[in-house]
Amino acid sequence: MIKFNINGTVFVRLNLEGVAYLQAYEEPIVNIVGYSAWQPDENGYYHWPLWQFMQIFGPSIDQGYPAIFETELLLKDMER
């Protein structure tokens, strides 16, 4: 078992459905500020603190539904 702080960063690759889900989630924000706050890095990973990832994508996760992101995540705990 490992400890992971909820404020630590998760790196996630979204599939096409995940990108569409994220765009719909952030549309009200983009309409206000004029740009997307989230862009993938050079390896295709988006990143968020774990709590924010859960807030955004939690409603899309349920048993029997296809995942809208790769289910193997990269974790980067908070700097100590």
**Distance from the Cα of residue 62 to its chain's centroid:** 16
For residue 65, give its domain range.
Answer: 9-76
Q: How far apart are CA 54 and CA 60, in angstroms?
A: 10
Per-residue model confidence as pLDDT tens digits over 5-24: 999 999 999 999 999 999 99
What does the DSSP assignment read for 17-51? HHHHHHHHHHHHHHHHHSS-S----TTS-EEEEHH
Average pLDDT in the chain: 90
Q: Note whether residue 4 is domain-resident.
A: no
Q: How far apart are CA 54 and CA 57, in angstroms?
A: 5
Q: Note whether residue 63 is domain-resident.
A: yes
Q: Note whether residue 1 is domain-resident.
A: no
pTM of the model: 0.84
Q: Note whether residue 62 is domain-resident.
A: yes
Total tally of structural domains belonging to the chain: 1
Query: Using an 8 Å Cβ cutoff, are 57 and 51 in contact?
Result: no
Q: Note whether residue 27 is domain-resident.
A: yes
